Amino acid sequence: MAVSLDIASLRARRETPASSVAASQGAEAINLAATKGDGLGCHAGKDAMRASAEAAGMSETLEQLRKDYPAGPHDQPQSMCPAFGSLRVGLRMRRTATILSGSACCVYGLTFTSHFYGARRTVGYVPFNSETLVTGKLFEDIREAVFETAKPDDYDAVVVINLCVPTASGVPLRLLPKQIDGVRIIGIDVPGFGVPTHAEAKDVLAGAMLKFARTEAEQGPVQAPRGGRNQRPTVTLLGEMFPADPVVIASLLEPLGLAAGPVVPTREWRELYAALDGAAVAAIHPFYTASIREFEAAGRPIVGSAPVGHDGTADWLDRIGEACGVARDVVETAKNRLLPGIRGALSAMPITGRITLSGYEGSELLVGRLLVESGADLRYVGTACPRTPWSDADREWLEANGVRVQFRASLEDDLAAMHEYRPDLAIGTTPVVQKAKELAIPALYFTNLISARPLMGAAGAGSLAKVINAALANKPRFDAMRDFFEGVGTGFAAGVWQDTPQAKQGPKVQVAKKHDPIGEMA
């Protein structure tokens, strides 16, 4: 009933002349000048869009985002559009449709990026203009699109994502129906002025889905996993990771009498129930604040860090065993069986060289631990993600080993660290890699070359060494290229002249004329 009344109110507002609406709303009057352009577009700036969203009734949403994803000492790290994280989660799930509500340029960029990363799904889009935005017609269009999409034969869930402009304008996705013919409707706001990184935007959708699934499980029986419910207690794995890592983690849990549960974000809806059913949750990526809130509401203990390297695996097994009530002697027996293999893999593939490391995936501290245990002289780890209680174990271990850890690191932080420590290898984001190569420092792109490798257990212990040692060995090639091209593109050789170039005046050289008998004969 509340929904129908709100819809009627929006419809009435649309049919009322704009001048009348403005006169009746006082401080919240529609900006008529804005309706002649593109409304409060992305170019308005984050402060203006945040103020607009709060004036439009989104204060509670923005406040929750601020609590879950605090920006840190500066505005926020440089990163791709954060909404890509939520879009990625939805596109990787079976029987899940995704609809975007935002500026056409944003939707184009997000869908292009999603397909670049391998998504092969159609993305829904509800277009708007300034008139439909300020009159409430956009919400009606979204609602109509949701009803057209929510077919139970095709989907378990429909995800609707508000981008910056609809969020700033207060488009109320919370008024969408919760279900249509059994298809769940999940509406979320993922504005760039409220969610700092795309990694955390994954949590926005994962947390919303877990909350929905938890409510369903509390109300009665739910769908079992495809393979049936595991007979052993399971550990839910929180955070996207290399596909082999869950398999390795399962082998580490087996001696404890435990099994690896689903990985959140999940690949289908029914896995959410199994994730909530775990005996504990391993926060492999520690920034999934909204998801952790739902697991805690379900009474599940949270264990931070991950089984990386010798020390990390030993500590993680201790805390998993404690959280799941595994007998101490069983844990010690498992450690005695597993740890020697990890130590052997580390010693067999040592890394020698000074390294700085930065990224925005959320696994930076885990990679840092593995590098240190591999013998690397790691001086700096920067991550675009925030510090949380579940990253403390990794931070404390790294700092104890002489590594400076920077949460919410900006590009300027990463570049300053590279200049300060002058590493033999810089691992980082694209602009960090670019700057490093300009300085003749070997560099590797974190996302594609480092985080896309196994990290856990013995399999992860030697996985980084080959690519990192190969990059370190390239230093002489960088030096040779620097020496060969030094000065090109700078100073007088920059290709931009302020004055007309003058030929250099040098000593005149008398050139003897060559004897040409054929010419003389001619």
Q: DSSP letters of 43-55?
A: GG-HHHHHHHHHH
- Predicted local distance difference test score (pLDDT) of residue 35: 40
Residue 290 has a pLDDT of 95
pLDDT for the residue 331: 97
Q: Which element (helix H / strand E) includes 366? A: helix 364-373
Residues 421-446 pLDDT 10s = 999 999 999 999 999 988 889 999 99
Query: How is residue 265 written in tokens?
Result: 């974000």
- Can you give the pLDDT at residue 452? 82
Per the CB < 8 A criterion, the answer to whether 313 and 339 are in contact is yes
Radius of gyration for the alpha carbons in the chain, expressed in angstroms and rounded: 29
pLDDT at 339: 95
Give pLDDT, residue 31.
45
Residue 185's DSSP bridge partners are 158
Supply 202's token pair.
Answer: 């994954």
**Residue stretches of the chain with pLDDT short of 70:** 1-45, 72-77, 117-118, 482-485, 487-489, 491-498, 500-522
Interatomic CA distance for residues 253 and 251, integer angstroms:
5
**pLDDT tens across 70-124, in order?**
876 655 667 778 888 899 999 999 999 999 999 888 888 888 877 776 677 889 9
What domains appear along the chain, each with residue ranges and CATH number? 46-196 (3.40.50.1980), 234-344 (3.40.50.1980), 349-484 (3.40.50.1980)
- C-alpha distance across the termini of the chain, in Å: 109
Strands (DSSP E) contained in 126-212 are 157-162, 179-180, 183-189
Helices (H), 240-327: 244-253, 270-276, 289-297, 309-323
Pairing of strands 179-180, 377-383: unpaired
Q: Which of 18, 185, 180 is nearest to 97 (CA)?
A: 185
| Closest of 29, 83, 71, 21 to residue 52, by C-alpha | 29
Which residues does 120 contact at the CB level (< 8 Å), separation at least 6? none
Give the tens place of pLDDT for each residue, 246-292: 999 999 999 999 999 999 999 999 999 999 999 999 999 999 999 99
Integer angstrom CA distances of residue 6 from 85, 176, 470: 31, 10, 62
pLDDT for position 269: 95
Helix (H) or strand (E) holding 59: helix 59-68
pLDDT at 210: 97
User: CA separation (Å) from 325 to 249, 274, 513?
Assistant: 18, 19, 98
